[in-house]
Amino acid sequence: MSIVTAPLLKRPGKEWPGHSLVMREPLRLDCGVDFGPFTIAYQTYGKLNPERSNAILICHALTGDQYAAEPHPITGSAGWWTTMVGPGGVLDTERYFLVCANVLGGCMGTTGPKDINPATGEPWALDFPVITIHDMVRAQKLLLEHLGIDTLFAVIGGSMGAMQVLQWASSYPESVFAAVPIAGSARHSAQNIAFHEVGRQAIIADPEWCGGRYLNAGRNPSRGLAVARMAAHITYLSEAALHRKFGRNLQDRKAVTYGFDADFQVESYLRHQGSTFVDRFDANSYLYITRAMDYFDLAAEHGGSLPAAFPGKQPRFCIISFTSDWLFPTSESRALVHALNAVAANVSFVEIETDKGHDAFLLHEPELFATLRGFLTGSAEQRGLTRFWS
Amino acid sequence: MADRSAALPLGATPAVPGAPAAPEERLRRDLRLIAEMIEPESRVLDIGCGDGALLAYLAREKGVDARGMELSQSGVNACVRHGLSVIQGDADHDLDAFPAGAFDVAVLSQTLQATRRPRHVVEELVRIGKRAIVSFPNFGFWRIRLGLLWRGRMPVSELLNNSWYDTPNIHLCTIRDFVVLCDALGTKIERSITLDRHGRPFSLDPRGGLANLLAEQGVFVLSGKSRD
């Protein structure tokens, strides 16, 4: 059975909802390259108040995008944080102005490796500079300056989004009132780098990848990308969740077939995850963004001291982890708590009991909602935000 | 860690809309006593903060920068849900991360007896807090002594309400024991208050035998190394 039958990734067209901002000035990246001009594609929900004090930046995860709360323009599926964002929601669009930008290196409108390199007139492919989490955050800072937002009420995100949150607190502590890193870490662990490497090698090993120049060749390494997604998806779940969902149940059959078809439901599920992913994601973006996560190590940027990564007056923190998350385990969040305690920052830390694994931050998790609602409501009162804008 | 679930709903500051405010008189007596000793606008860490009743009160009534630490997940989650700054952690392991003098006051109420290393915990309290307030049940209280002497059973009281086999209280001490520990550590006892079985304070020298006999619990204000 063929895993995927995806067409080439669609190029961003005018019909995509949201906004985009072209930055003419080059941005100095961690790798030393002055990069630009480049585009930042972003989406907003709610209304900025006259004081410009109610903005929340939502940072998306590895395979997320700016469409947090509306149907995805390619797949049509619900936004990845629809559970969280909306009128009266935890991220209340009647109260807050929400900004979510596609990360640098992404493939949903912000400049990434599939876009045209002005120097050659061809897609960047591997000529695209290697970007870091810090670079993504630098780009977000430029966007917020453009929007006239000096201080964010909050910056929030899960997984790679949490890395961006931490980078914000580290680089621009004075510009953030509250920081909410969910299921995150101050550095990418060896195990996580290892999983990413498996994914990248699956892409690179696909003959359709063509040394990264598949767009010129009119091809798409969708099999490699699908395998990368399948392997990664396992790490987002937990053994208990997989067992609860699928057990050893067979897929549309009464007995095993003594072959390599998807006999088990769990196989069928993973193949589906892989094949739907390639419709909306660019393989080279996957290489670049996983690399950015691998390079993330806040302490290393500060002489090996994690507390030193959090200078100045730090924002209020709400750090959240999940008991069954083995990709970004609670111990990573606890190390963060200790570092923030060392600089006497105002920290809340909640570990939420769930069997849903790393992906719990994207799912219906009432304890997560209640925790966030309490923290944000408390922070809003401290910030002097009233409930409704007219 | 000591269970404070008996405390009333948080009228936390900042409160979740519609949540009832906890009036002062509903704060547990020993907590109210501790609250009275805390200066407005100060920085306070409450270790073993339970559902955050003391923190909520201090933040609301005294404008205190109130932080908490709590072992039980349900306690932490309840606190954060009510807008309080609380981390999941325990006194034995998670105080080390704080720098010296990080807080004006470090509070440990009804929790010392549940720690694994009470000596280390007391040292840490007076390191991270300019002052520490420690309250604990007095195992030298006459009813406890009598219970053991008369009934020959491990004492169970309102404050120590678990059977010996499922109690979290693994390091019980008397008021005299605690004073001896403070002396050994060179920790200064700035103030001590003894409470009778109704939680009413009375003044007796904590080094005297009578306090050790009549107090059901003791509340001590400590500060770093005693200079005398």
The string of pLDDT tens digits covering residues B16-58 is 333 444 444 478 888 999 999 999 999 999 999 999 999 999 9
Average of pLDDT values for B173-194? 96
Count of domains forming chain A: 2
A371 closest CB neighbour out of B65, B80, B98: B80
Percent of chain A with pLDDT over 70: 95
pLDDT at A14: 52
Average of pLDDT values for A352-368? 96
Whether residue B194 contacts residue B210, with contact meaning beta carbons closer than 8 Å, is answered with no
B190 within a domain of the structure (yes/no):
yes
Q: Are residues A157 and A102 in the same domain?
A: yes
Put simply, the chain A residues between 327 and 356 with a CB less than 8 A from any chain B CB are 334, 337-339, 341-344, 346-353
Six token digits for residue A103: 């990360």
Specify whether A159 is catalytic: yes
Average of pLDDT values for A118-123? 95
A371 within a domain of the structure (yes/no):
yes
B124 within a domain of the structure (yes/no):
yes
Q: Suggest the residue from B65, B76, B80, B96 to mutate for an interface test with chain A (most A CBs closer than 10 A).
A: B80
Q: What is the pLDDT of residues A16-66, one digit of tens each?
A: 899 999 999 999 999 999 999 999 999 999 999 999 999 999 999 999 999
Residue of A60, A134, A135, A159 marked active site: A159
A262 within a domain of the structure (yes/no):
yes
B72 near A CB under 8 A: no
Residue of A60, A134, A196, A358 marked active site: A358
Q: How confident is the model at residue B5 (pLDDT cuts 50, 70, 90)?
A: very low
B175 within a domain of the structure (yes/no):
yes
> Which amino acid belongs to residue A362?
L
| CATH number of B178's domain | 3.40.50.150
Provide the 10 A C-beta neighbour count for residue B18. 5
A164 within a domain of the structure (yes/no):
yes
Q: Are residues A177 and A206 in the same domain?
A: no
Average of pLDDT values for A224-235? 98
Q: How many helices (H) and strands (E) does chain B have?
A: 7, 8
| CATH number of A355's domain | 3.40.50.1820
Label residues B102-140 b or e (16+ Cβ within 10 Å = b).
bbbbbbbbbbbbbbeebebbbbbbbbbbbbbbbbbbbbb
Domain of A271 in residue numbering reads as 192-292
Question: Is the pLDDT assigned to residue A8 strictly greater than 90?
Answer: no
Question: Is the pLDDT assigned to residue A4 strictly greater than 60?
Answer: no
Q: How confident is the model at residue B2 (pLDDT cuts 50, 70, 90)?
A: very low
A12 within a domain of the structure (yes/no):
no
A4 within a domain of the structure (yes/no):
no
- Distance, in Å, from the CA atom of A158 to the CA atom of A138, rounded to the nearest integer, reads 18
Q: Are residues A322 and A264 in the same domain?
A: no
Q: Are residues A182 and A211 in the same domain?
A: no
Q: Are residues A162 and A304 in the same domain?
A: yes
Give helix A222-236 / helix A265-280 axis angle, nearest 10°: 120
B86 within a domain of the structure (yes/no):
yes
Chain A CB contacts of B99 below 8 Å: 342-344
B16 within a domain of the structure (yes/no):
no
Q: Are residues A176 and A323 in the same domain?
A: yes
Q: How confident is the model at residue B7 (pLDDT cuts 50, 70, 90)?
A: very low
Q: Are residues A165 and A100 in the same domain?
A: yes
Domain of B215 in residue numbering reads as 24-225
Average of pLDDT values for B133-151? 94
Contacts of B122 (CB under 8 A, 6+ apart): B112, B132, B134, B181, B182, B185, B187, B222
Q: Are residues A151 and A204 in the same domain?
A: no
A2 within a domain of the structure (yes/no):
no
pLDDT at B6: 36
Mean pLDDT estimate for chain B: 87
Residue ending a domain, among A268, A292, A316, is A292
- Distance, in Å, from the CA atom of B196 to the CA atom of B191, rounded to the nearest integer, reads 17
Chain A CB contacts of B72 below 8 Å: none
Q: Are residues A269 and A338 in the same domain?
A: no
Residue ending a domain, among A276, A292, A308, is A292
pTM: 0.90
Q: Are residues A228 and A275 in the same domain?
A: yes
Give the long-range contacts of residues A207-215, CB within 8 A, separation 24 or more. Answer: A209/A283, A211/A126, A212/A113, A212/A125, A212/A126, A212/A284, A212/A287, A213/A123, A213/A125, A213/A126, A214/A125, A214/A283, A215/A8, A215/A114, A215/A123, A215/A125
For residue B105, the SS3 value is strand
B6 within a domain of the structure (yes/no):
no
pLDDT at B107: 98
Q: How confident is the model at residue B226 (pLDDT cuts 50, 70, 90)?
A: low
Q: Are residues A237 and A178 in the same domain?
A: no
Q: Are residues A242 and A96 in the same domain?
A: no
**Most confidently predicted of A13-27, A294-308, B7-21, B141-155:** A294-308
Q: Suggest the residue from A350, A365, A372, A379 to mutate for an interface test with chain B (most B CBs closer than 10 A).
A: A350
A11 within a domain of the structure (yes/no):
no
B5 within a domain of the structure (yes/no):
no
Q: Among residues B61, B28, B14, B23, which one has the least CA distance to residue B42?
A: B61
Range name among A90-94, A307-311, B3-7 with the lowest pLDDT average: B3-7
Count of domains forming chain B: 1
B60 near A CB under 8 A: no
Whether residue B225 contacts residue B215, with contact meaning beta carbons closer than 8 Å, is answered with no
pLDDT at B73: 85
Q: What is the pLDDT of residues A208-228, one digit of tens each?
A: 999 999 999 999 999 999 999
Whether residue A43 contacts residue A16, with contact meaning beta carbons closer than 8 Å, is answered with no
- Distance, in Å, from the CA atom of A298 to the CA atom of A185, rounded to the nearest integer, reads 9
- Distance, in Å, from the CA atom of B192 to the CA atom of B133, rounded to the nearest integer, reads 9
Q: How confident is the model at residue A387 (pLDDT cuts 50, 70, 90)?
A: low
pLDDT at B160: 86
- Distance, in Å, from the CA atom of B124 to the CA atom of A384, rounded to the nearest integer, reads 35
Six token digits for residue A83: 């559970």
pLDDT at B202: 87
Question: Is the pLDDT assigned to residue B210 strictly greater than 70?
Answer: yes
For residue A98, the SS3 value is strand
A7 within a domain of the structure (yes/no):
no
